[in-house]
Chains A and B, each alone.
Chain A
Amino acid sequence: MSLPEFNFHSPSHTDELFRLLQEFGPSARVMSGGTDLLIALDGGRVHYKHLISLKEIAVLNGLDYDSSTGLTISANTVLADVAAFAPALEHYACLVDSIEELATVQVRHKASVVGNICNASPAADTATPLMALGARAVIIGPGLKREISVEELITGPGKTCLAEYEIVQRIIVPPPGEHQRSLFLKHSPRSRVDIAATSACISLCIQDGVFAEVSIFLGSVAPRPMRAKQAEAVLKGKQPDPDLLQRAAATAGEECSPISDLRASEEHKRHMVGVLIFRGLEQLAVQT
């Protein structure tokens, strides 16, 4: 790696961070783990004169769970810490599964969950679980604080709705519902370390024998992680039976909009969406 020249800043307070962001504007980029950013800089895909590390800002650290707020993941929290956090393992299986499937042990010890979301890749592994679980992002900027859903945060490939001077301070995943169950499935032609050709996350709740709540999100098959609304509608209020699951899976394969790329063809991705959704629904339907 032969990185281009840049200045490095490591503020210890958010006031200083916002001052730098306002001063440098688009020539600056914030970094937490930097595992994607340094490769993009090295490859000349992005150019920044200033990198601003968030690591020394204490209010951006921490990982917490309580039964009323849910799971709070701060800007600097690394993927490996979430995957090893007992309440995450207990209550947010799909999120932990997605992290276990993301890149390598080394990357998971450096890269942050918030960074994975803010890089806004259509294939970001943690995006579909966070969206399916209804996670919200707390955004801060100079004198401002706002909260939006993670689904609204990502607007396109590599794009978020963050202004230049804003950062995601933390992500809050609401506490799971009483009968909620979830899983994450990923298909990569080569290995699990690889970027997903397709991925899917399903979170649902079966009550009185019918699908009461269903949330399905798909990765790598649209410009951003997408909600499979039509497949959800097929399931809602119905009893799980193999025909219904098959119909929902086929619907998901039809409603997504993948492109052919080096990982798989459009047809193969659509087919695999159907396969993943059917497998996932089948697994969740038999869980008690």
Chain B
Amino acid sequence: MNTHVIELIVNGDLREVAVRPNLTLLQLLRDHLRLTGTKHGCGTGDCGACTVLLDGRPVNSCLTLAVEARNRTITTIEGISTSGTTLHPVQQAFVEKGAVQCGYCTPGMIMSSVHLLRTNPDPTESEIRHAIGGNICRCTGYTKIIEAIETAARAKKGSGQ
């Protein structure tokens, strides 16, 4: 197997790593870069727990090879709050609305929601359901998650962000 030395930007930091071709982006983030906020659920693209933004697009990091991230920009749950001390509006809304129970789906759910609100700042409930269709939650029944995303959308609109 040919090892590749790649550069990529993770949460704003330039990283240089040596990766084997069969290493997934999820494994690189969790096991090598110690960014364990991104979760491993199914490993087969079904649950969305591993969702990260790759050049701003939501992808399943379990279905992405680390080597595919060469010269690309990755944002994980650890990187969405710009200040590092305050929560991102979507995180804040999840806390306020009680949209987190066991929390395992939450990082992926929040990454999908962040992408939704960037591309569609005022989504309908059906658009929200569609956007999180690739994220499975076994605890909440989704109602609180949808309320949280609606709340985050309103907060964003109110703050003019």
Which residues of A pack against B, CB within 8 Å? 1, 3-8, 10, 34-35, 38-39, 42, 51, 53, 55, 80, 100, 103-107, 109-110, 191-193
Q: Measured between C-beta atoms, what is the minimum distance from B74 to chain A in Å?
A: 13
Q: Of A10, A39, A55, A105, which one neighbours B58 at CB under 8 angstroms? A: A105
> Given A5-B1, A8-B4, A38-B65, are A110 and B22 also a contact pair (CB < 8 Å)?
no
Residues of chain A within 8 A (CB-CB) of B20 are 5
Are B63 and A105 in contact, with the CB atoms below 8 A? no
How far is B43's CA from A1's CA once the two chains are assembled, in angstroms?
5
Q: Does B89 sit within 8 A of A, measured CB to CB?
A: no
B133 and A42 contacting across the interface, CB-CB below 8 Å: no
Asked if B67 lies at the interface with its beta carbon under 8 angstroms from chain A, I say yes
Chain B neighbourhood of A34, CB < 8 A: 63-65, 68
Q: How far is the CB of B102 from chain A (nearest CB, A)?
A: 21
Query: Smallest CB-CB separation from A107: which chain B residue?
Result: B45
CA distance A10 to B65 in the complex (A): 12
> Which residue from B26, B115, B133 sits with its C-beta under 8 Å from A104?
B133
**Which of the residues A3, A105, A107 comes within 8 Å of B22, measured between beta carbons?**
A3
CB-based contact B58/A53 at 8 Å: no
Q: How long is the Cα–Cα vector from A38 to B51 in the complex, in angstroms?
A: 16
- Give the complex CA separation of A80 and B21 in angstroms: 26
Q: Contact check: which of A4, A10, A39, A80 meets B63 at CB < 8 Å?
A: A39
Chain B residue contacts of A106, Cβ below 8 A: 45, 48, 51, 58-60, 63, 112, 134
Is B2 an interface position by the 8 A CB rule? Answer: yes
The answer to whether A8 touches B67 (Cβ under 8 A) is: yes
Taking chain B's interface residues, is the majority helix, strand, or loop, or is none over half, making it mixed? Answer: mixed
Q: Which B residues between 1 and 36 are near A, CB-CB below 8 angstroms?
A: 1-2, 4, 20-22, 24, 26
- In the complex, the chain B residue whose C-beta lies closest to that of A109 is B57
Interface centre among B1, B48, B68, B70 (most CB of A within 10 A): B68
Are B68 and A53 touching (Cβ within 8 A)?
yes
**Are B2 and A7 in touch, CB under 8 angstroms?**
yes
CB pair B67–A107 under 8 Å, yes or no, is no
The 3 A-B pairs at the shortest CB distance, nearest first, are namely A104-B134, A8-B21, A3-B22
In the bound complex, CA of A5 to CA of B21 (Å)? 7
* Min CB gap B107→A, angstroms: 13
* B24 neighbours in A (Cβ, 8 Å): 1, 3, 38
Contact residues of B between 76 and 128, Cβ < 8 Å to A: 112, 115
Q: Select A6's contact among B21, B45, B58, B130, beta carbons within 8 Å.
A: B21
Query: Are B59 and A110 neighbours in the complex by a CB distance under 8 Å?
Result: yes
Task: Check B143 for interface membership: any CB of A closer than 8 A.
Answer: no
Can you list 9 A-B contacts with CB-CB less than 8 angstroms, sorted by A residue number? A1-B62, A1-B63, A10-B70, A38-B24, A51-B21, A106-B63, A107-B134, A109-B58, A110-B60
**A254 vs chain B, min Cβ distance (A):** 34
Determine the chain A residues whose CB is within 8 A of the CB of B51 once the complex forms. 106
Pick the most buried of B4, B22, B24, B115: most chain A CB atoms within 10 A of its CB: B22
Q: What is the CA–CA distance of A96 and B121 in the complex, to the nearest angstrom?
A: 22
Please tell me if the beta carbons of A8 and B134 are within 8 angstroms of each other in the complex.
no
Q: Which residue of B lies closest to A55 (CB)?
A: B68
Task: Kindly list chain A residues whose C-beta atoms are within 8 Å of the C-beta of B54.
Answer: 109-110
Contacts A1-B63, A191-B133 aside, 5 further interface pairs with beta carbons under 8 A come to A39-B63, A51-B21, A104-B48, A105-B130, A110-B54
